[in-house]
Amino acid sequence: MEMINAIGRRKSSVARVYLSKGEGKITVNGKDYKKYFPQTHIQTAIVAPFQTIEAENIYDLSVNVDGGGFKGQAEAIRMAIARALVKLNEDFRKPLKDKKFLTRDAREVERKKYGKPKARKSFQFSKR
């Protein structure tokens, strides 16, 4: 099996995933994913696509992720893993799509407007 690559995006994070046959090693930006993401709920989000299709410890992952915070990066990685698994086997599409791992979450931060302190917040109104 050759190396399969896929891209996932979330907020301002972009994750490039390289999937190959192996023993289940996941490296994110050169570190083990448990060291890169110390929070357990983020770690479970990353391995969720493998648990959905019951393919833990079969594939090695090398991930390059850039931009955003840890939550956005983790969800970008999750999407990229799901896309790579679908490239590998088209039968994985249905269970991954049912869990919404293949859907791009388009919500972005709204830009700040002039005359306001934030995007929508206003300064305190004084009638007199």
Q: Which residues of the chain have pLDDT under 70?
A: 1
Pairing of strands 13-21, 4-10: antiparallel
What does the pLDDT read at residue 108? 92
Counted residue by residue, the chain has a size of: 128
What does the pLDDT read at residue 1? 66
What does the pLDDT read at residue 56? 85
Q: How many CA atoms lie within 13 A of 57 on its CB side?
A: 0
Instruction: State the CB neighbour count (10 A cutoff) for residue 105.
Output: 13
What does the pLDDT read at residue 126? 92
pTM across the whole model:
0.89
